[in-house]
Structures are given as C-alpha cells and as structure tokens.
Chains A and B, each alone.
Chain A
C-alpha cells in the first residue's frame, strides 16, 4: 500500500502542470497524458494539413481547448488515428476520446458514449454550377426532382430521404471522393453534406462546384451535432462534458468556430 502511494506521489510530482484535484486524474488511458484520436487522414477544415499537433483546424483547435480546460498542457496531448468503424467496434479503445465529425445519434449512443456537442452543423446541398443555374431558387419541390447522392456512412444518407424524399432512388457511395466523382460524371445532381465539408468540397474538389443552399440545424428533425466519441461507460465523460460546457459558456467555442468555419456564411437557407 505504501509502495502504491509512493508511486502515485512520484507520478504527481512528475507532471508539474497537472493539478492534484483534476477531474481526469486516474481516468485517462495513460496517467497525465490525454490521448485524442482523429481520422486517418484528417482533413480541412477540421485539421489543417493532416497535422493536429499544429492546433490548426476546427477540431484540432477545439481538442486543445478541451484539453487545456481539463488541465492538460499542450505537450500532455498525444494523437492517434482510427477509422470510423474501428471506433465503434466492441472492445478496448486506444484513445481517451475521438474527434472526427461523429454525429451524435441515439442508436450510436447505445454502443459508445458521446460528449456534449462541440458543433451543430447545418446540412448543405453540394451541386455543380450548371445544375444550380437550372434549379434557380432552391425550393423543396425543385430539389425533389434531382438525382441525389450521399456518403453511405454519413447522416446525410438518411436525411435525404427524410427531409427531401426525392423522386429517384438515392445513390450512396463509400466516401466523399466517390460522391464528388459521381457528381462530376453527372450521375447525380446533388449531394447532402454537413456545411463545412460541403464548403471544402465545392471550393477545392468539385470542378464548377456550387452550394445550392443549406438546411439550418434547427430546421431538420435530426440536427447534426458532432460530439467527441468515448468508450461506452467512460469515466472521463463528465470531465470532457464539463470542459465543453465551460468553452460554450465562455464563448470560446463560438470563437474557434468563427475562426475556422467562417466560410459558412453566404449560403442561402432553403425553404
């Protein structure tokens, strides 16, 4: 017993920046270190240049803000990479929490834990300029007549059916690259993405890309909210929630959002 206490004391002394009354004490994967997972690769505008350590990009910045709020210094944060499926598989996790635009859904919450949302996304309609010209004003009726596509593992896949209920069968794809390829090949007219992704795709990936409009988060039944993903029953969840709540209250979260996702302005709202 004495020995255990000695070791604990030693580790407390060893991490000077680490407060003794810290909420996260004894709850992280490795004592004194916060292990955060992101996608492989992680991309704009969530993580700039696939380098989360740079703190550049929305999720990278939020991650460090949460860590600081929880009492971890910047150099006490380590990064790992996981795929989407890896993170929701049963079994041990190799991260304390995982940030790669996980939409919070009740079904998912049965398998894993989510933090409070750090971002509420609008869903935006990505299309090409020629389709946008043809459609004109983005009314719901005009959208029904389009051929729709979406990424199969995104919330957009089910949202297309629920919110738009198009006349043609929706086509689903493995990843964003395939959706944009189909858009480029004129196999689909439009695809639904969360706003930041849509902004990125229309600006960088899709030739003559255009955003037809957006469904604001509060307009849809199922507003897309991103949360940090943790193992089911994670002891760390209250600490993360506390940190996010504090960041929301202080307006820090909105600040980060404005800094990294400001391009979100200027896309018309659909009604």
Chain B
C-alpha cells in the first residue's frame, strides 16, 4: 500500500535521507530502528508530507504523493502522524483535540462525533479523562489522547515518531498497550522506536537506519538474532 523509492532529503548542506527504499503492505507493522539522527523522524515527516522530499517517489494507493505541487491536505487526512512530544492543543479539552479535525475537515458536528469519540476514549482506558485539559493529564495519558486524535480521522496508515521517548519509564507500558491493541485490529503502522523488545514482539519487519540509509532490513528474528551488518550488531549491542 505504501512504497518508497530512492527518497532523498537535505536540510541545507546536510543530507538526512540518502535514497530510502521501503515497502509497507496493508496491515503490516514496520519498525524503524537506529541511532538518533539516522533519519527516522525525517522519513516519517516526509511520508506525512510535513517536510517535502527533494527527490524520489512515495507511492500511496497507486498515487505518487511526492509529486511536487500536489495538495498535501487530502493525503495527510489518510496518513496519521503521532509525535514524540504529543503536541496536544493545550487550549482544548481532550475531546475537542480529537474532534477538531473531523469537524473542520469532514464536517462532522461535535454532537455527531461524541459517541464514537467517547467509545475511543473508553477503548484506550481514558473514558474518565475525556473532558480534561492536556495539562491535567499525565504524559502517558496525553500520548494516548494524541493517538486517539490521529485515529479519529480514520487514516489508512499511522506513523509513530518515537512516541514513548519523552515518557517516564512507568508510563511507557500503557502507550505500548495501545499500539498492541491497534496491531490486533490490523492497523497499518510505521514506528520509529527505541523499544527493541516491543519491536521484536510485534513487528512484521524491522529496518535499521544509519546516516539516511536503510542499512539492513528483515524480520525481527533476522535483525535481532542474526544481523548481517557490523554496524547493526554494534548498534544492537549498545541498546540491548
């Protein structure tokens, strides 16, 4: 469903992505691992069209969405992105955070959404927090609201950018549980993550990025138990 060909991206003189090729099938969960600065976040922002790529193609449902001049708005509605720092809108309640985009983009009134949104909050254990404001929520709760916010647009694919990195260790599990749940429901997902245990448990495919390239990709067993590349071995020995 998503196919990246030779993605290139620079910020000034610094080349961040140096020709990424990646295939993601419907219902698949792909984990991107690698050191900070290896290009994981930039790749996710590129797929969401927040940072347009310099060169290469991004085929999404038969359309090259990397085509310059394409209106990014309808594409972004189908590709959700969850950020490391949650980025909830602090002046809105959790429910309003979730309902804003469907209301403005799809024209669904708050009343029409309310039941479905309440159900989402219940499903992820936040039913009692639905009318709280972000500063009244813990980091783990905020991140779960952010995931609900992305889900509410009913995207075809969800991108997660190190969504547990800013959390206290005891809050990581509640967020990973949400991902596990989504995995069970067959959501197509790409994760940039440092949670190796989680990647190993659930991923269909793990890609090791270094200096803007996918150095090695394979099933979790291949990558974690029998990495071919020296750099992959070095990286894993540092983080495991």
Asked whether the complex places CB atoms of A and B closer than 8 A, the reply is no
